[in-house]
Structure 1
Amino acid sequence: MTEPCLARRGASERRFGESIKRLAFAVSFRFFLALLLALPVRAEVAPQPDLTRAIVAENARLVREIAAGTAALEQARSDLRQLRSRRSELDQRMQRIERHAQVNALGQLFAQAVIEQLSRLPSSEGFENDRRQRLDRLEAASDATLRAERALDELADMETATVMRFAASKPPLPDALWPQFEAAARPLLGEQRTLLTGLDEQQGQLLQALQASDAAALELAQRTQAVRAELTRLLFWVPARPSLQTVGEFSRSWAWMTSLANWRAAAVSLAEELASRPFWPVLALLLAVTLLFARARLQAQLVVLAPADANSDRYWIGYTVTALAITLALALPGPLLMWTAATLLAASLDAEPFALALGAALAATGKLLLALSALAWLLDRRGVAGGHFGWDESLLGFTRHALRRFSLLFVPLLLVVTLNGLDHAPFANRESIGRMSFSFAMLVFAAFLVRLLRRRSPLIQRLYARAPRSWAVRLYALWFSAAVAVPLAIAGLSAAGYFVAAGYFFGHTLMSLFLILGAVALYGLIALWVQVERRRLRRHQAREALRQAREAAAETGEDGSEVAEPAPARLDIAAISEQTRSLLDLFITLLLLGGIWEVWKGGLPALSVIGDYVLWTYHATVDGTATTLPLTVGNLFMAIVVGVVTVVAVRNVGALLDIVLLQRFEVQADATYAIKIITRYVLAAVGMVSALSIVGIGWADVHWLIAAMGVGLGFGLQEIVANFVSGLIVLAERPIRIGDIVTVGEVTGTVARIRARATAVVDFDGKEVIIPNKAFITGSVVNWTLSNQTTRLLLKVGVAYGSDIALVQRVLLEAVRANADVLADPSPSVFFMGFGDSSLDFEIRAFVGSFDKRLRVQHELNVAMEAVLREQGVEIPFPQRDLHVRSAPALVGLQESVQGQGDGLPTAPAQAMPSASPSA
């Protein structure tokens, strides 16, 4: 909008405001005049003055709303001007910073200027509070506009509006008063319409001003965020290299830190704040003293709460949670006093910079002291790690001793660093004492890690003894070097002039380390709960088995008290434990990744220099336009993260589905297995596609490869593809399931695993036979247990001719029915099937409940039938053959030949040849 337009608009708005003020004065004058005139004639025409007074009161209310709206409009326009002015000033300051940043030789003064600009930036909380207030005003203005528009619609027809007002009076007015009412109400309603018109226009202008202010505030917030990110990046990667001036400022910085006047002023500020608000500080002091005096009792309580054989029946996880709270209470006194002093110093209005810097240093150091003290008490020999989690006491003693020696030196060093390196300290202190003490603290930290993780330390020796082939042992040199290199690299950053970057990396690395320790403690807590529940389950099983044994002994007339306590019945505890462990690993991993992301996400703008480093470029099509896109370190890292998360999810999604979802529904075991396998395939496909898309490999880049692979698969790998597709069909249709007994060709066994290419079947010899999935779809398969576990036994028995058929049938049927594993429904049967060569043939048909009972029951029935037939004197015959001899002339010559040999054989007429025929 041009300046003449703005001038005309301002003049029209001023004229409109003046007319509104004149109208408001006239309405107010008429309101008071109507009140004065209504007093003498109240007894004569009481209803009419009341009704007109209501219209006058409405007009007066509209005048007040217009006045308030005028003030709100001026405030909104003033806020808009201020927001635009702040945006302009911010841009100017940032332009100066960027102009100086283009110079390669940047010194301490530039870093100091950047720090000052960062401290002057408005906070995001302030923007959010202003936005909430602005939204409330926008809502009020919108509601006022809607009310004014509705009222104007009612006053569009003045005659109708007057009649409606007359008819709506209570009590009803007589018709004789209509002329007087109309003469008094019509002018007032006309004034009300004018006021409503002005109010509607004013609220519309207020809405526009508030919306413009909201847009300007949002733009300023976004610009402020971008400026903060850029200034932080400059502080991170623009070094303030040490110089002779830094060495010269060391003595002055030391004098500032050790000045008795500064410490005396801080003590005075602390005493004044304590005197003005003593309640909470005194309460914190009493709590710290109480915890110190109750330390021995709290340590004894840790031992009482530890799970043991004596209290395993009544132990619950709340005991360990209480023990963790006691551990925190044991570590609290020192940090609590430091935080109390820090709060008092920060709240002092007249505090000097040293007092403010001391308060900030005490607050930051108190957090570190609390974390280190809590970890030391956690590792105490009577603490949670040893008494509750069952960790090795010798390792705990070594680690606790090393940690306490480290804390005695490291915590005072960090107090010096924070006192000289935070916002309220002079910049010279940051670059001299702050940088030197921070570098020395990092060297102390590296020495502590070397002592704790060296090859000869008890921790690493125990690792080698318990898991000599684990990846932690194989990659020991790599992760040990990385662990020691981190504090050394941070110290190098600080010495090179990147003090802000070094402090950021150290703080967030330390927070990540404590997050990992917290995750380990949480894992131990949940694992302890699982272990106690397993032991309670075993004891319940043992007691139930003992009760059943004693009841059985009592039924047989034996002394049940002599029955020894049996071993607990074995349920699928190992499988439950494995599922729980998998779910626990997934839960802790996701929780830890989320915590680490929360810790490091604030520094992503500063770390963007690393993440934005281009590794290579690739060509892609965006919105139909071919373009070249860079692949950065951040993209590669995100692809690796997606791949790792995919692997973890694929490995643990089965246990997650089992425990969280599938156990809540009545899903068969085979359906559960199919759901888990298909879910793994889907997760693997989604993860692979996501990781490839992050690194710039999309469908358009690989469709030709997929087509070529399709041709190759069609010719060379069609069997593999057929088996894979067959595996998907098997999982979907479920003609075979895990645990089914199947016969495929000459192989009979139990289905153990169904994979993408083949299915593993364990035969009755214990061998695993790998059968391609295609055989289950295209071939003939016998599934003995698909829809029904019941299977039929067909036994054949032959008895001698002359046996009593009815007796044989009866005794065989009784022997079959006497077996407990033979089902009564379908009932067993015995049939006389016919006359055999040497026996009367019977068939026995019996049913058993499962396939695994088949061989055993068949053996038991054969033994029982043989015994009962022997008892009844029924013979089971041998196969019989009769020999018949018929005449054969050809044998005469044979006989003469034999006699001529003089072998002394007797001669006999042999005029026949043997012929065998079956005997009846």
Structure 2
Amino acid sequence: MMTKRLLPYSLLLLCLLLTSVFTVAATTDDSIARLEQQLQQLDNADSRQNPLRELYQKTLSALNSRQQYQARADTLQQQIEQQPEQLRQEEQTLAQAKTPAADTRYLKLSRAELEQAITLRRAELLQLEQQREQLTQQIELNEQKLLSLREQLAELKQAPPELPPLPTEQSSRELNDARLQLKNALLERRSSHIRALELELLALPGQTELARLQLQQLQLQLQHSGTTLNAMQSHLEQIQRTELENTLSSLLTPQDSALEHPLLAQQVQTNQRLSEQLRQMSDQTSTAQHRRVALEQELDLITRSFKTIQQQLELETYSASYELRRFTQELSRPVDTAITRQSLNALRLRSLEFNRQQQAEALDPDVLAQLTPAQRSQYEQLQRSQDTLRDRLQDNRQQLISELSQLLAVKEQLNERLQQANQLIQQQLLWLPVAPPVSWQWPGEIATSVEQLRTLLLRIVATPLLADTPHLNSVWGVFVLLSILAMATYRYQKQHRQRWRMELGNVVHDRFSRTLRLMVAGIISALPLPVLLLMLRSYSLNPEHPDRVVIEQLLLLWTFSLQFYAMALVWLKVPDGLMCGHFAIPEALARVMRRQLHLLFWVAMPLLSLLLLTESYNAIEMQSGAGRLLFLLLTLTLALFWRGFWHVGLSVHTLTPHRRWWHNTHLWVSALILFNLVMAGLGLWGYALTALFFMLILLVVILQGLAAFLLFKLGLRWLLIEERRLSFSRAKARRAEIQAARENNEEVPPLKENYLDLQTISDQSRALLKTFIILMTGVMLWLTLGDFLPTLQVLESVKLWSSLVPSGDQEILTYVTLRDLVVGALVLWVSLLAAQNLPGLLELLALRHLSLSPGTGYAITTLLKYSLILLGVMIAVGQFGLQWSKLQWLVAALGVGLGFGLQEIVANFVSGLIILFEKPVRIGDTITLGNVTGSVSRIQIRATTITDWDRKEVIIPNKTFITEQLINWSLSDAITRVVLTIGVAYGSDTELAQKLLLEAACANPRVLDDPEPDAYFREFANSTLNIDLRVFVSSMSDRVPVTNELNTEINRLFNEHGIEIAFPQLDVHLHRRT
């Protein structure tokens, strides 16, 4: 009754509104026409009326805008009035679409008509999917537009209205009227704009609701059309299979009498083979089709879930984390496209070969003429059947190629979507809260979630965990064998480790293999239980268990934790275990580590296992209640674990010889305790998954640090053993040299050239070991954490400069990033460091085990040093974006220029290499080069140092040794000859003089008996009879002492025997001039 009474008043009000609208529209049209007429009149006026024209133009523009806003408002008004009826109609249509009538018209179609209908249905599905995508985008745009319109409306209402300049006293009346008219037009435009925005805000929810209803209708239509399409495809497949069977059954099956001829028997075998291929190909086509449909459904599901999660992430709700984790669990692995692509290529190749094979199998007419009429008729029928089979086989092959092509396209789309989904998970999952912050409702949530957790545990226990598989007996057999091996290994190392510790440092008995045995013994002793769990997980776990996934995760977790726990306990035996005995770990620290490992294994591991169970339940109540409680207990347990190392700080300090601030144990223990407390705070705030991720990163860093520590200790132990052996072998060799020199009454030979003392070898080897460990740890951290640390990704995004890299016939523009610069600088630094410390490591690794001539080791080391530097420079230059192909002309020009300027340096460098390899001179050799005679003290790449008899060091370029005449007094034999010329007076007994000279030479201990001394009467001089005494000495250093001793002895013997040593005489004749 009330509605009937209000209806006349509503109609009257609507008529009044429409009348006012039409009146305003008519007024606006009149104003626009009048302004256009006034502007037309002003076109013929002079330029002094330009201000009036500008006002009229602004007024006209404002009225046009107002008219547009008014038209838009009228349209929106009509939409608002029509929306209730439209919504009612759409709801009715949606209710009818929920119970669609089954479409069975395709059952009456032929095969060709059915194939065409399937094609049309697929096109219809594509069109419906496009419409669904458009409606989805429209809904998203409406939601965004709603926020934008509200902001525009608020800004428009808050902003002051745009008004023309105020009239002045000097303005004419016409200008004042124009300004007033412009002011009214601007105000009307502003009010019309506001009204249009308000109506659009009122209309948008209805439009969005209409779009949602239409989207639901499209979803139902897509579902119905997809079901119908699947039914049509199944029906088509049944028709094809029926036709195939009919075709095969209609083929002529000859009688046994007709198969006596080999040609007919061959035709029958060919037809049977083609029939079997046709059946197989039909099955393959059906399988590919079913697989494609399944993958299309999976792709559609993933796409819709992906878009839903994106929308929830934009809203930043707690359910987004839940949906994202559920999406992660349901996400499938990428499908393999290689097999499909290979099958597709093989089919295409077989299709090409099929025609060639058919032409090659054409029968010779002479053979056909040998058949009887009955056999010829039989052959023709078999040939027609064969042609039919070949045609059908080729058609089915083309159909299979088409299906495989579609399947390959769907697989690639699915893999692309899976990659996008994985990227979304990596970017968003870790930074979303899994539960709201803790509140006063937390105790109730704990009680509820504990009951849920108990139900989950009962469900896990209710179903058998292990299946009765044939592998179960093998698993237990392997476990028994490993247990026996573990017990034998543990007994062996227990019997020997005390003796091995006592012999540490003994250069004769100590072996590096003993350290390796202790390490391997710890690994083997811990193997049985972890291997049992791993084999049960892989071969004997019940595949029908509802919680199989989480059980596999728990078994894997306990496998690694058991292995680490048992292995560490064996290694930390006090006092003769691996850590204490061989790696010099303090006993107090080892005892604390064993005690804290018990806390970590027996308390933290069960808490972590229960936490994984709560994560698998994937419910906000479970995460907020028991999950949060377990996480807090886990973080507190880890804090207590690190707290246990506080009192052994001094023991840890003994591991490093030089203390720095970063060696402060209390600092690191405090940081680790604080880290766990901060993670507990994140858990209370709801970011438990983020905290677990950070704790996992810390665990990875600690494990890699422990691995680096073990490798460093192993390397250091090997270096110590090798250094002791090298020192021992050098001491024995030096003692043998000294003893041999004393036995031969010779001088002690000098040390080898370029001799490296043990301290230098030790320092260089340790520097290389530390560098290798640091680089290996850095690379491992980069590989494991590089994708999660944004700081490392920034290095790749910072572009420094670009370069053109040739690729075939084109050049590709590549950018040199900050990462390339860092890598290039790191490679250059490592190459220089390795080149500097290479001699010591080579001495330990190779040179001491090789029988090398003097100087060869130094030459090899020098060449390797320069090769490492050159390789490092080339790699660094490549990282910096400099291509050698572009630098070749610059290098050539620099080579020519430097060839003139540095030719002496290059010549000396090459000459130094020749000296090092050919060894014309060696350290300790006595040489004569020009007017310089001395002993070679040092040979380097550029120059050689000679110490002359005045103890002066003469540096001579290496080029001089190659280009000039060189006398080496001790190259192959150190024996040298000393020649003394003795002059006796005329009339002396020369035979007696020779006898006395030989007697003096033979009596001197420095003179060698082999070759024997010789004395020769050489010449009649002016005042003397010259006799040469030729003796041989063992070294160059004996020449002067032997000369002195022989001259003294000869003088004594000649005086005793009355032989006069002559001296030059000069007769002077004086004549007096008269």
Is TM (by shorter chain) over 0.5? Answer: yes
SS at match of 2:789: helix
CA contact (8 A) 2:765 2:840 kept: yes
When residues 787 and 536 of structure 1 are mapped into structure 2, their CA distance, relative to the original with a 3 A threshold, is closer
Q: Structure 1: which 5+ residue stretches go unaligned?
A: 39-45, 167-174, 553-568, 890-920
Q: Tell me, yes or no, if structure 1 residue 58 matches structure 2 residue 288.
A: no
Paired AA for residue 638 in structure 1: V
Aligned twin of 1:325:
520
C-alpha distance after superposition, 1:171-193 (max 9, x if no partner): xxxx8646665554344345434
Q: Tell me, yes or no, if structure 1 residue 113 matches structure 2 residue 318.
A: no
Aligned twin of 1:447:
643
C-alpha distance after superposition, 1:102-143 (max 9, x if no partner): 56xx4543223222222222235xx3xx45654674576467
CA apart distance, 1:835? 4.7
In structure 1, C-alpha distance between the alignment counterparts of 2:461 and 2:705, rounded to whole Å: 35
CA apart distance, 1:512? 0.7
Q: How does 1:90-109 map to 2 (within 5 A)?
A: 90-102=302-314, 106-109=316-319
Paired AA for residue 404 in structure 1: R
SS at match of 1:618: strand
Aligned twin of 2:990:
804
Q: Tell me, yes or no, if structure 1 residue 511 matches structure 2 residue 723.
A: no
Q: 1:375 aligns with which of 568, 590, 597?
A: 568
Q: Tell me, yes or no, if structure 1 residue 606 matches structure 2 residue 606.
A: no
SS at match of 2:567: helix
In structure 1, C-alpha distance between the alignment counterparts of 2:501 and 2:725, rounded to whole Å: 12
CA contact (8 A) 2:653 2:664 kept: no
Aligned twin of 2:911:
730
In structure 1, C-alpha distance between the alignment counterparts of 2:693 and 2:341, rounded to whole Å: 38
Paired AA for residue 256 in structure 1: V
Q: How does 1:452-601 map to 2 (within 5 A)?
A: 452=648, 454=649, 457-461=650-654, 463=656, 467-468=657-658, 473-474=659-660, 476-477=662-663, 485=671, 488-489=674-675, 492=678, 495-496=681-682, 497=687, 498-520=690-712, 522-523=714-715, 526-527=718-719, 530=722, 597=779, 601=783
SS at match of 1:605: coil
Which stretch has the larger CA shift, 340-349 or 143-152?
Answer: 340-349
CA contact (8 A) 2:322 2:618 kept: no
Aligned twin of 1:243:
437
CA apart distance, 1:704? 14
Q: How does 1:110-149 map to 2 (within 5 A)?
A: 110-123=320-333, 127=335, 130-131=336-337, 133-134=339-340, 137-138=343-344, 141=347, 144-145=350-351, 148-149=354-355
Q: Tell me, yes or no, if structure 1 residue 401 matches structure 2 residue 575.
A: no
Paired AA for residue 405 in structure 1: R
Q: 1:684 aligns with which of 848, 869, 874?
A: 869
CA contact (8 A) 2:1017 2:1028 kept: yes
Paired AA for residue 66 in structure 1: L
When residues 526 and 778 of structure 1 are mapped into structure 2, their CA distance, relative to the original with a 3 A threshold, is closer
When residues 501 and 308 of structure 1 are mapped into structure 2, their CA distance, relative to the original with a 3 A threshold, is closer
CA contact (8 A) 1:508 1:600 kept: no
SS at match of 1:761: strand
Aligned twin of 1:410:
600
When residues 886 and 608 of structure 1 are mapped into structure 2, their CA distance, relative to the original with a 3 A threshold, is same
CA apart distance, 1:683? 3.0
Aligned twin of 1:35:
255
In structure 2, C-alpha distance between the alignment counterparts of 1:70 and 1:275, rounded to whole Å: 36
CA contact (8 A) 1:141 1:203 kept: yes
CA contact (8 A) 1:829 1:845 kept: yes
CA apart distance, 1:58? 1.1
CA contact (8 A) 1:439 1:495 kept: no
CA apart distance, 1:72? 1.2
In structure 1, C-alpha distance between the alignment counterparts of 2:734 and 2:958, rounded to whole Å: 47
CA contact (8 A) 1:620 1:626 kept: no
TM-score by length of structure 2 reads 0.60
Q: Which has the larger radius of gyration?
A: 2
Which stretch has the larger CA shift, 220-229 or 780-789?
Answer: 780-789
TM-score by length of structure 1 reads 0.68
In structure 1, C-alpha distance between the alignment counterparts of 2:338 and 2:697, rounded to whole Å: 35
In structure 2, C-alpha distance between the alignment counterparts of 1:661 and 1:186, rounded to whole Å: 83
Paired AA for residue 936 in structure 2: T
Q: How does 1:771-810 map to 2 (within 5 A)?
A: 771=955, 776=960, 782=966, 784=968, 793-801=977-985, 802-804=988-990, 808=994
CA apart distance, 1:209? 4.5
CA apart distance, 1:509? 1.3
Aligned twin of 2:544:
349
CA apart distance, 1:293? 8.2
CA apart distance, 1:363? 3.6
CA apart distance, 1:416? 1.1
Paired AA for residue 283 in structure 2: A
In structure 2, C-alpha distance between the alignment counterparts of 1:797 and 1:63, rounded to whole Å: 117
C-alpha distance after superposition, 1:690-736 (max 9, x if no partner): 4465466889999999999999x98xx998x5675345433554488
In structure 2, C-alpha distance between the alignment counterparts of 1:308 and 1:535, rounded to whole Å: 21
Q: How does 1:49-88 map to 2 (within 5 A)?
A: 50-88=262-300
In structure 1, C-alpha distance between the alignment counterparts of 2:499 and 2:266, rounded to whole Å: 75
Q: Structure 2: which 5+ residue stretches go unaligned?
A: 1-115, 124-231, 744-750
When residues 283 and 23 of structure 1 are mapped into structure 2, their CA distance, relative to the original with a 3 A threshold, is closer
Aligned twin of 1:306:
500
In structure 2, C-alpha distance between the alignment counterparts of 1:487 and 1:781, rounded to whole Å: 76
Paired AA for residue 798 in structure 1: I
C-alpha distance after superposition, 1:43-85 (max 9, x if no partner): xxx741x431221121121122022112212323443454455
CA apart distance, 1:828? 8.8
SS at match of 1:381: coil
Aligned twin of 1:153:
359
Percent identity of the aligned residues? 14
Paired AA for residue 35 in structure 1: Q
In structure 2, C-alpha distance between the alignment counterparts of 1:640 and 1:36, rounded to whole Å: 85
May I ask how many residue pairs the two structures share in their alignment?
Answer: 814
C-alpha distance after superposition, 1:164-216 (max 9, x if no partner): 7x7xxxxxxxx864666555434434543453354345435545644664465
In structure 1, C-alpha distance between the alignment counterparts of 2:234 and 2:545, rounded to whole Å: 47
In structure 2, C-alpha distance between the alignment counterparts of 1:276 and 1:146, rounded to whole Å: 48
In structure 2, C-alpha distance between the alignment counterparts of 1:5 and 1:831, rounded to whole Å: 125
CA apart distance, 1:797? 3.4
SS at match of 1:113: helix
In structure 2, C-alpha distance between the alignment counterparts of 1:208 and 1:421, rounded to whole Å: 46
In structure 1, C-alpha distance between the alignment counterparts of 2:698 and 2:874, rounded to whole Å: 36
RMSD: 6.1
CA contact (8 A) 1:794 1:845 kept: yes
In structure 1, C-alpha distance between the alignment counterparts of 2:392 and 2:1059, rounded to whole Å: 121
SS at match of 2:545: coil
CA contact (8 A) 1:357 1:419 kept: no
Paired AA for residue 357 in structure 2: A
CA apart distance, 1:532? 9.1
Q: 2:611 aligns with which of 412, 420, 442?
A: 420
CA contact (8 A) 1:380 1:396 kept: no
CA contact (8 A) 2:604 2:634 kept: yes
When residues 510 and 269 of structure 1 are mapped into structure 2, their CA distance, relative to the original with a 3 A threshold, is farther
When residues 235 and 674 of structure 1 are mapped into structure 2, their CA distance, relative to the original with a 3 A threshold, is farther
When residues 378 and 841 of structure 1 are mapped into structure 2, their CA distance, relative to the original with a 3 A threshold, is farther
When residues 866 and 767 of structure 1 are mapped into structure 2, their CA distance, relative to the original with a 3 A threshold, is closer
In structure 2, C-alpha distance between the alignment counterparts of 1:258 and 1:772, rounded to whole Å: 90
In structure 2, C-alpha distance between the alignment counterparts of 1:861 and 1:425, rounded to whole Å: 104
CA contact (8 A) 2:463 2:545 kept: yes
